[in-house]
Chains A and B, each alone.
Chain A
Amino acid sequence: MNTDLVIEAEGLVKHFGETTALQGVDLVVPRGTVLGVLGPNGAGKTTTVRILSTLLTPDAGHARIAGLDVVRDAEQVRHRIGLTGQYASVDEDLTGRQNLVLFGTLLELGRAGARARADELLEWFDLTDAADRPAKTYSGGMRRRLDLAASLVGRPEVIFLDEPTTGLDPAKREAMWDVVRSLVADGSTVLLTTQYLEEADALADEITVVDHGRVIAHDTPDGLKRVVGGQTLEVRPADAARLAETAQILSQVSTGAPADELRKGMLAVPVADDEALTATVARLGAAGIAVTELSLHLPSLDEVFFTLTGRPASDETPGSPTTTRTPGSTDQEVAA
């Protein structure tokens, strides 16, 4: 047993009646790192989290948190973990503060300790003004923050975040990412599930891709991006007549494939990294080609799955949010 592996799972299998949710999931998370578990709906992400957080017992295989077995030593495991589910797991009739004080009391912080910890977390998550309102009056983003705050009451060393940003708008998503980063900076170990490669790329040290209850890839974000073809650069020249010229320039920055007309008047090429964007801007400028759209994309979950498995993701996934844009490369007209 490697003590520096805070989360270890081997061969986790779970059936629900006829359906097999997990058919042998292995994963490891070293101390102080973030593991991103990437997969579509129904891939087994939530089931994995529920087994690791002692809510479910695996049918086969075993898992350890900080060396403690999640089944045999469940009670001790629960002292070390914090769980934030897909839906807000707080009491909607209680206020934000009452929720946090309740969890603090249940975690043996004592009356004064529970109150102090609640104040601290409310302030950190910018909920002080709403602290004394019932949680059901909170907006979606506020509920997520309260939910995450609730899982941090006991200062857990291992934090499970099950799709922490699903349904949040991009600004709130970025803020949630900052929270996760500061947790890790504090020494916590995080396992986060997501449907967005961009999210896993932004936060995770390593990514485990799951599909149909199986791990189909495990790599660093860079390694995974290399496998799935890095990023895609998309350019729409202002003058459609200069499409061919633009295509010529794009093939010079491409990692191999020639420029492809993705939609009418829109060219796309696979590129290795962000530098391709700068190079393209410079070359287009030199050629005097004006563009109306220029953007760099990470592959969507669908594209990742297509590359890894040769078929689309196993379940339908929300389409548009997966096509995300790299900051600073939004659709903008580049003066030529």
Chain B
Amino acid sequence: MTTTTVARPTAPTAPRPAAVRQARPFPLVRHAAALTKRSLIKTWRTPEALIDVTLQPIIFLAIFATIFGNAVAGSTGDYLQFLLPGILAQTIAQGAIAIGVNLNTDLTKGIFDRFKSMPIPRSAPLLGAVLGDVVRYVIVAVVTLATGYAMGFRIRTDPLQAFAGCLLAVLFAVCLSWVSVWIGMKVRTSGAVQGVMFLIVMPLSFGSNVFVQTGDLPTWMQGFVDVNPLTHLVDSMRGLFLGAPLGNHVWWTLAWCVGLVATFMPLALRAYRRNL
């Protein structure tokens, strides 16, 4: 360091904070927006952290469509139509694991101390991180649909319904990510966050209608499959992408979304405050 200590470039009578800062409306929204931008810059700087939302849907679609296509449905093409909404739901749910892992690491660094010493709502850094991850879920939807199209998948409804299906999946992932955030605040190591979340997401993925129709699963399992939020999300997307009967699946998915946020967001925020 060369000598850098020239006079402070501000007048000695620089206005104190009270004079500079004006009270503006919606502090939480603006602060969360600024912190969302931080999250997006970090994502942009570390593209290798996007493997779980880019390569994974491609590989899963290719593997499962080929393996199960012949064994389960007799043809890869028909099975791909059935499988794609399931893979999209599975990958997007797994994509929500990363946020808890990252926040767990972030908390040990000094940046969160700075946030906590600043006059901003305590929830803003968590909210910013959750909203910043929306981009990851959008990537899952785009990559899955693009790969599916290359492999022969076709939407049989209209673009608006397909868009609604994707939106529902992204919304579900945002809501599920609060579980990951909560666990990220509670456990001691990022590896443990990964482990616990895997134990939650795996049964949800395989104890669902992602790979086979509910009716083809063992009877004892069907009770779980019927309440599993992923089942409702997958059925919603099959309806919105392919025109299958929608029933109440969209409502059930939305109800799960509300339930997850109402339960895990307060838990996560409380754990975050206690983490001081």
**Cα A145 to Cα B3 with chains together (Å):** 12
Q: Could you tell me if A126 and B4 are in contact, using CB atoms closer than 8 angstroms?
A: yes
Q: Could you tell me if B21 and A179 are in contact, using CB atoms closer than 8 angstroms?
A: no
Given contacts A53-B117, A102-B34, contact A172 B20 (CB under 8 A): no
Cβ-based interface call for B7 (8 A): yes
- Give 4 nearest A-B pairs by CB, closest first: A89-B110, A178-B5, A126-B4, A78-B119
Cβ-based interface call for A175 (8 A): yes
Q: Could you tell me if B113 and A55 are in contact, using CB atoms closer than 8 angstroms?
A: yes
Q: Could you tell me if A103 and B9 are in contact, using CB atoms closer than 8 angstroms?
A: no
Interface-lining segment among B11-19, B203-211, B254-262: B11-19
**Cα A155 to Cα B120 with chains together (Å):** 16
Contact with B along A80-124 (1 / 0, CB 8 A): 110101011111111000100011011111000100000010011
Interface-lining segment among B37-45, B58-66, B193-201: B37-45
Q: Could you tell me if B4 and A175 are in contact, using CB atoms closer than 8 angstroms?
A: yes
**Identity of the chain B residue whose Cβ is nearest the Cβ of A53 in the assembled complex:** B117
Cβ-based interface call for A10 (8 A): no
Shortest beta-carbon distance, A76 to chain B, in Å? 8
Shortest beta-carbon distance, A106 to chain B, in Å? 5
Q: Could you tell me if B17 and A154 are in contact, using CB atoms closer than 8 angstroms?
A: yes
22 A-B contacts (beta carbon < 8 Å): A50-B276, A55-B116, A57-B276, A79-B18, A83-B117, A85-B113, A89-B110, A89-B113, A89-B114, A90-B110, A93-B46, A103-B114, A107-B118, A108-B22, A124-B9, A141-B1, A147-B110, A157-B16, A171-B1, A179-B4, A183-B8, A186-B8
Q: Could you tell me if B17 and A80 are in contact, using CB atoms closer than 8 angstroms?
A: yes
Chain B residues, Cβ within 8 Å of A103: 114, 118
Q: Could you tell me if A78 and B117 are in contact, using CB atoms closer than 8 angstroms?
A: yes
Q: Could you tell me if A93 and B117 are in contact, using CB atoms closer than 8 angstroms?
A: no
Q: Could you tell me if B117 and A54 are in contact, using CB atoms closer than 8 angstroms?
A: yes
Shortest beta-carbon distance, A204 to chain B, in Å? 18
**Identity of the chain A residue whose Cβ is nearest the Cβ of B113 in the assembled complex:** A89
Q: Could you tell me if A107 and B21 are in contact, using CB atoms closer than 8 angstroms?
A: yes
**Identity of the chain A residue whose Cβ is nearest the Cβ of B20 in the assembled complex:** A109
Chain A residues, Cβ within 8 Å of B111: 89-91
Cβ-based interface call for A284 (8 A): no
Shortest beta-carbon distance, B56 to chain A, in Å? 23
Shortest beta-carbon distance, B220 to chain A, in Å? 45
Shortest beta-carbon distance, B209 to chain A, in Å? 39
Give B contacts to A, CB under 8 Å: 1-10, 12, 14-18, 20-24, 30-31, 34-35, 37-38, 41-42, 45-46, 109-111, 113-120, 124, 276
For the complex with contacts A85-B110, A183-B8, A185-B12, 4 further pairs of A-B residues with Cβ separation under 8 Å are A90-B111, A91-B111, A145-B1, A186-B12
Given contacts A90-B111, A124-B8, A179-B5, contact A106 B34 (CB under 8 A): yes
**Cα A151 to Cα B115 with chains together (Å):** 11
**Cα A150 to Cα B124 with chains together (Å):** 18
- Judged by DSSP, the binding face of B is loop
Interface residues on A, range: 35 or more
Chain A residues, Cβ within 8 Å of B22: 108
Chain A residues, Cβ within 8 Å of B110: 85, 87-90, 147
Cβ-based interface call for A318 (8 A): no
**Cα A182 to Cα B7 with chains together (Å):** 7
Q: Could you tell me if A55 and B45 are in contact, using CB atoms closer than 8 angstroms?
A: no
Which residues of chain A (63-87) have a CB below 8 Å from chain B?
75-76, 78-81, 83, 85, 87
**Identity of the chain A residue whose Cβ is nearest the Cβ of B31 in the assembled complex:** A106
Chain A residues, Cβ within 8 Å of B18: 79
Shortest beta-carbon distance, B244 to chain A, in Å? 43
Q: Could you tell me if B38 and A120 are in contact, using CB atoms closer than 8 angstroms?
A: no
Given contacts A102-B34, A171-B1, contact A155 B16 (CB under 8 A): yes
Q: Could you tell me if A55 and B117 are in contact, using CB atoms closer than 8 angstroms?
A: yes
**Cα A179 to Cα B115 with chains together (Å):** 23
Cβ-based interface call for A256 (8 A): no
Q: Could you tell me if B114 and A54 are in contact, using CB atoms closer than 8 angstroms?
A: no
Chain B residues, Cβ within 8 Å of A11: none
Q: Could you tell me if A107 and B42 are in contact, using CB atoms closer than 8 angstroms?
A: no
**Identity of the chain B residue whose Cβ is nearest the Cβ of A141 in the assembled complex:** B1
Partner of B14, one of A92, A171, A186: A186
Q: Could you tell me if B5 and A182 are in contact, using CB atoms closer than 8 angstroms?
A: yes
Cβ-based interface call for A134 (8 A): yes
Chain B residues, Cβ within 8 Å of A106: 31, 34-35, 115, 118, 120, 124
Most buried by B among A106, A134, A145, A187: A106
Cβ-based interface call for A156 (8 A): yes
Shortest beta-carbon distance, A109 to chain B, in Å? 6
Shortest beta-carbon distance, A4 to chain B, in Å? 16
Given contacts A90-B111, A126-B4, contact A55 B46 (CB under 8 A): no
**Cα A94 to Cα B9 with chains together (Å):** 24
**Cα A126 to Cα B8 with chains together (Å):** 12
**Cα A311 to Cα B17 with chains together (Å):** 46
Cβ-based interface call for A56 (8 A): yes
**Identity of the chain A residue whose Cβ is nearest the Cβ of B15 in the assembled complex:** A155
Chain A residues, Cβ within 8 Å of B3: 175, 178
**Cα A93 to Cα B38 with chains together (Å):** 9
**Cα A168 to Cα B120 with chains together (Å):** 31
Chain B residues, Cβ within 8 Å of A183: 8
Chain B residues, Cβ within 8 Å of A108: 20-24
Shortest beta-carbon distance, A162 to chain B, in Å? 10
Chain B residues, Cβ within 8 Å of A178: 3, 5
**Cα A89 to Cα B109 with chains together (Å):** 7
